[in-house]
Amino acid sequence: MKRALITGLTGQDGSYIAEFLMAKGYDVTGLARRTSEEERERIRHIRDRITIVTGDLMDSSSLRAAIESSEPDEVYNIAAQSHVGASFEQPIATGEVTALGPLRLIEAVRQTGAPIRFYQASSSEMFGKVEETPQNEQTRFHPRSPYGVAKVYAHMATVNYRESYGMYAVGGILFNHESPRRPTQFVTRKVTDAVARIAIGLADHVDIGNIEARRDWGFAGDYVVAMWAMLQRDEPEDYVIGSGSTHSVAELCERAFAHVGIDWRAHVRSIPALHRPAEVDLLQADASKAKREIGWAPQVNFEAIVAMMVEADLARWREAIDRGAVTPKK
């Protein structure tokens, strides 16, 4: 039985990779901060089959302890301050967690001397102001946010440890990936949650930022398969993971509202104050290397992802109404 240690267990990607690895027979340990049970909702259905250890990417001693207790064959570093907008408000905290956190973790792995394979969750936000479209593993990084800058640091630290110490360490450069488990501060879930509330009379509108920004959106459940596949090769390599298709935020809104038969233009307000200080206008993945070398391709398309998320949010809010937690306005 293989053993895996996952940081960021209680987040979207952490919960999906935990499910996937357990289905493959892994013994899974998750690193999680001391949080309320509500914040662990995403893993409630698998909680009794996972070992959870308390730790934090800010604390090297807790990382070493987690590695020593779990004795992993593979480490998946998913944890981060991952909200781009918040990184402008908290740039130093973002750097401490998203840049230096992975460095603390990979150094803790190195110090064990064990042949542990290390996955770093890199991001398409590293490309930022893109110089070519679509973006592949050779595209130059030009991050446009403290989050993107921090991810470049962590990614290059991973490359450096691979080249300096011969570690099996890889960076998965994942483009935007969504699901019903996405927190509501991210634009996809913010939109689908608003669609559900508007459809059942709990809200009237939703305020968002730049509706012209275009992203390459995929399904998180598909993307964790690529994470695992990267650690199964004979030699470590970095990979771009994405769908290869782009859609604007306006298209996202149109599709989500159309799912419930509502014209999005009557309920979506683009607010200049919600625009980022430096925008990323277009991200589009060239994942041909991943398809060729690890046999990965996305299975769930954009339309299905949006429908899945709207339906999940509708079910959640209807359940809240049924138990009297909220009352429709109309």
Neighbours of 89 (CB within 10 A): 10
What's the CA dihedral at 225, 228, 234, 239 to 10 degrees? 70
Supply the DSSP string of 269-319, one letter for each residue.
EE-GGGS-SS---B--B--HHHHHHT-----S-HHHHHHHHHHHHHHHHHH
- Strands 214-215, 247-248: pairing is antiparallel
Catalytic choice (70, 82, 122, 123):
123
Kindly give, in sequence order, each residue whose CB lies less than 8 Å from that of residue 325, ignoring residues fewer than 6 positions away.
Answer: none
**CB atoms < 10 A from the CB of 47, how many?**
14
Q: Is 123 a catalytic residue?
A: yes
In the chain the beta strands, taken as DSSP E runs, fall at 3-7, 27-32, 51-54, 74-77, 117-123, 169-174, 177-178, 206-208, 214-215, 218-219, 239-241, 247-248, 268-270
Of 236, 233, 247, 251, the closest CA to residue 285 belongs to 247
Catalytic residue check, 161: no
User: Does the annotation count 239 as an active-site position?
Assistant: no
Cross-strand pairs, 133: none
Query: Out of 15, 26, 119, 125, which one is annotated catalytic?
Result: 125
H or E segment and range at residue 87: helix 84-89
Q: Which amino acid is at 137?
A: E
CA dihedral 137, 142, 147, 151 (to 10 degrees): 30
DSSP state of 99: I
Say which of 16, 26, 147, 239 is annotated catalytic. Answer: 147
31 near 97, Cβ under 8 Å? no
Question: Catalytic amino acids?
Answer: 123, 125, 147
